[in-house]
């Protein structure tokens, strides 16, 4: 299948059938991606009667791109592409493929990839996808993390690495906007997204289907210039200038389309930037620190006048009080179980209020900040009188936060 628009050779039968399937498949993929929520009834029928999977699957967004629903849509996509492609091949078996059709197909793929890569890239640059490791995460054993949680922690630790990966994604997408740089943009996207897809597969990140489709779309664009790429990189041969096909339209309409294209792409890009910036600001506001921000490790725990020793099997005694955000707190017990609370501080009355999201009862504790590193809490929780003394864990207590970049390393620092 040669998608080069400067080729004048006739397509053979296999190439025409392959192109028709690829064309229909990716057009349907884009259409179904944005409209399948309108097709709930036929999708459930297809899953139950054709795939024999049953119709009981969730269609509402959960953040995962690898739900049963996504695979049902994928199966429908493949079968429809095969059926429509077969009918198309039979009806037009003697007709050649027009350059105009190839041109518009490539244009659609370029625009879709540009938007996807811009969104994915900017959300990394604005640090909206991979947050900094939370305080709760800093005291979570690595063995308790999910593979995805480990990957998110790795990515979230470094702002510079996020900017680097995000810039590469934005660059690859931006290069698709210009005909002369489509090949370079496709190669960058294939490289970047192959790395992303490998992370998705090896760390069980549920965006496997979508990332693979982005790679395949970029590969389709690269194949259009495949012969010249092979000559330059593998065969050490000279290559001729690519003559790009442009549909013949009158000058006025051509200018109008160009202006409209720039306007729409600019509008969409600005919308993506605003969305990423708003998300970044919202996250930044959540990160605003309260007076009691930090990880507080209990040194003394008195329950109903009885001092509880720090036994690792104790499911009641607090081990840590974690105040990560202004209105959120978590209590980690000695046995590593965690209770999460809505959390408010009343500075005037020197009170903190704990409230479970599933409970209407508020628990009030008086607090005393003896110094920046020591805290006392006294109050009643679930009818038990508690008096607790804490010591704040500092940033320097964690290697992950304490260790900074070093040009010179006399020995390996790997823990």
**Per-position b or e across 56-81, b if 16+ CB within 10 A of its CB:** ebebeeeeebbbebbebbebbbeeeb
pLDDT, one tens digit per residue, over 237-265 is 877 777 777 777 777 777 777 787 778 77
* 227 and 342 together in one domain: no
Let me know if residue 338 belongs to a domain.
Answer: yes
Whether pLDDT at 285 is above 70:
no
Let me know if residue 2 belongs to a domain.
Answer: no
Burial of 376 (0-12, 13-18, 19+ CB in 10 A): middle
Q: What is the pTM of this model?
A: 0.87
Contacts of 263 (CB under 8 A, 6+ apart): none
Let me know if residue 410 belongs to a domain.
Answer: no
Let me know if residue 404 belongs to a domain.
Answer: no
pLDDT, one tens digit per residue, over 173-219 is 999 988 889 999 999 999 999 999 999 999 999 999 999 999 999 99
What is the full DSSP assignment across 199-244?
Answer: HHHHTT-S-HHHHHHHHHHHHHHHHTTHHHHHHHHTS----PPP--
Continuous segment of H or E residues that includes residue 167: helix 159-175
Cα–Cα distance between 400 and 396 in angstroms, integer? 9
* 217 and 300 together in one domain: no
* 180 and 253 together in one domain: yes
Tell me, what CATH number does 325's domain have?
2.40.128.20
Q: Which residues pair with 354 in a beta bridge?
A: 343, 363
* 232 and 332 together in one domain: no
Q: Which domain holds residue 124?
A: 13-286
Q: Write down the number of H helices and E strands in the chain.
A: 12, 9
């Amino acid at each position: 299948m040669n998608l080069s628009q400067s080729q004048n050779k006739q397509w053979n039968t296999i190439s025409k059938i392959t192109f028709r399937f690829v064309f229909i498949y990716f057009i349907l993929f884009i259409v179904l991606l944005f409209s399948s929520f309108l097709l709930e009834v036929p999708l459930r029928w297809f899953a139950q009667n054709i795939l024999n999977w049953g119709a009981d699957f969730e269609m509402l967004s959960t953040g995962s791109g690898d739900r049963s629903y996504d695979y049902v849509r994928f199966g429908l996509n493949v079968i429809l592409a095969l059926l429509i492609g077969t009918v198309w091949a039979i009806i037009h078996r003697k007709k050649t493929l027009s350059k105009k059709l190839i041109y518009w197909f490539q244009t659609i793929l370029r625009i879709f990839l540009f938007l996807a890569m811009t969104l994915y890239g900017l959300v990394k640059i604005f640090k909206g996808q991979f947050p900094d490791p939370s305080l709760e995460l800093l005291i979570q054993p690595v063995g308790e993390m999910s593979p995805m949680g480990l990957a998110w922690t790795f990515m979230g630790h470094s702002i510079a690495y996020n900017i680097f990966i995000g810039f590469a994604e934005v660059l690859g997408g931006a290069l698709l906007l210009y005909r002369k740089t489509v090949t370079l943009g496709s190669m960058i996207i294939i490289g970047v997204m192959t790395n992303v897809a490998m992370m998705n597969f090896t760390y069980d990140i549920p965006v496997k289907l979508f990332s693979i489709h982005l790679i395949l779309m970029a590969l389709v664009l690269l194949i259009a210039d495949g012969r010249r790429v092979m000559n330059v990189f593998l065969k050490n041969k000279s290559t001729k200038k690519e003559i790009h096909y442009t549909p013949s339209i009158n000058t006025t309409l051509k200018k109008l389309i160009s202006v409209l294209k720039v306007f729409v792409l600019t509008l969409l890009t600005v919308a993506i930037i605003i969305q990423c910036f708003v998300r970044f600001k919202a996250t930044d506001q959540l990160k605003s620190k309260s007076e009691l921000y930090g990880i507080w490790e209990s040194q003394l725990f008195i329950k109903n006048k009885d001092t509880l020793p720090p036994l690792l099997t104790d499911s009641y005694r607090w081990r840590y009080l974690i105040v990560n955000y202004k209105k959120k707190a978590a209590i980690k017990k000695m046995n590593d179980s965690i209770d999460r609370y809505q959390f408010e501080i009343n500075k005037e009355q020197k009170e903190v209020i704990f409230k479970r999201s599933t409970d209407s009862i508020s628990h009030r504790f008086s607090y005393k900040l003896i110094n920046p590193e020591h805290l006392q809490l006294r109050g009643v929780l679930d009818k038990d009188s508690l008096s607790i003394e804490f010591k704040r864990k500092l940033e320097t207590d964690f290697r992950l936060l304490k260790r900074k970049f070093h040009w010179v390393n006399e020995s390996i620092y790997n823990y």
